[in-house]
């Protein structure tokens, strides 16, 4: 397979993966909104409302599982997509948008997973967050303030769940959806750019290019 064909198929693969990233993000966002119809963002209430959703609401377990799978899978697919982009040798200015949106998207998707840690108010989530907030608090100067913003100050409680839920379902979700659209759009734009360049380079020589070629040849 010629190098050009390999590069082309890598580029096409990364565009297809970007479509999958957008699809998974929209699935996570839509199932998240459905979960929010029953989800109670309070300490204790979150655990009970999720259990109610899984055991009482028809297909509640299905939407919760789809949300969890889509929310975790999107990180894996976005990472693979970035690697394929790298091997697709797409290092151009117009690519900056694709690169930056891809890298920031992965950070936001990880942030969505992180903020979701406490949303089911489970033992695991509670102690994991407590340990990680301890690490955040050790950040010089800003640590304590950052911890208080995330928790609402003091111990982990209803305010913590409410703040993490707000970060998760409003701020980070909206940014994730926008970034996944920008990312795909910049890849498609890039494909168009490459295609038009290829067409230009194979186009029939114009009168101008012919006369330049001739004068160059006569000067040679």
What is the rounded CA–CA span in Å between residue 188 and residue 186?
A: 6
Which pairs with CB-CB distance under 8 Å and at least 24 residues apart come from 190-195?
190/11, 190/90, 190/92, 190/94, 190/95, 190/98, 191/11, 191/12, 191/15, 193/92, 193/94, 194/11
Read off φ and ψ for residue 59, nearest 5 degrees: 60, 10
Q: Does 45 bind ligand HEM (CB under 6 A)?
A: no
Of positions 78, 95, 105, 120, contacts ligand HEM by CB under 6 A: 120
Of positions 10, 32, 160, 167, contacts ligand HEM by CB under 6 A: 32
In the stretch 171-190, what mask flags binding to ligand HEM with x, by CB under 6 A?
Answer: --x--xx-------------
Q: Does 68 bind ligand HEM (CB under 6 A)?
A: yes
Of positions 113, 152, 181, 191, contacts ligand HEM by CB under 6 A: 113
What is the rounded CA–CA span in Å between residue 53 and residue 61?
A: 7
Kindly tell me which of 12 and 128 has the beta carbon lying closer to ligand HEM: 128
Q: Does 66 bind ligand HEM (CB under 6 A)?
A: no
What is the rounded CA–CA span in Å between residue 52 and residue 59?
A: 11
| Secondary structure letter of residue 5 according to DSSP | H
Least distance to ligand HEM, CB of residue 209, Å: 50
Least distance to ligand HEM, CB of residue 177, Å: 6
The neighbour count for residue 7, using CB atoms within 10 Å, is: 15
Q: Which residues sit at the interface with ligand HEM, rule CB under 6 A? A: 25, 28-29, 32-33, 35-36, 39, 50, 64, 67-68, 71-72, 74, 109, 112-113, 116, 119-120, 168-169, 173, 176-177
């Amino acid at each position: 397979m010629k190098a050009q064909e390999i590069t082309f198929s890598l580029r096409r693969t990364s565009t297809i993966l970007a479509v999958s990233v957008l699809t998974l993000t929209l699935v996570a966002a839509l199932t998240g909104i459905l979960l929010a119809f029953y989800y109670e963002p309070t300490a204790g209430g979150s655990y009970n409302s999720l259990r109610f959703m899984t055991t009482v609401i028809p297909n509640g377990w299905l939407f919760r599982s789809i949300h969890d799978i889509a929310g975790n899978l999107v990180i894996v697919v976005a990472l693979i997509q970035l690697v394929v982009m790298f091997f697709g040798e797409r290092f151009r200015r117009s690519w900056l948008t694709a690169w930056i949106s891809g890298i920031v998207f992965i950070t936001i998707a990880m942030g969505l997973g992180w903020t979701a840690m406490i949303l089911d108010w489970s033992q695991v989530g509670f102690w994991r967050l407590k340990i990680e907030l301890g690490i955040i608090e050790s950040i010089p100067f800003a640590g304590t303030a950052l911890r208080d913003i995330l928790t609402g100050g003091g111990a982990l409680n209803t305010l913590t769940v409410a703040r993490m839920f707000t970060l998760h379902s409003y701020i980070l979700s909206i940014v994730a959806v926008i970034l996944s659209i920008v990312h795909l759009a910049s890849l498609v734009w890039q494909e168009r750019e490459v295609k038009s360049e290829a067409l230009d380079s194979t186009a029939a020589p114009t009168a101008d290019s012919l006369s330049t070629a001739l004068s160059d040849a006569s000067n040679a």
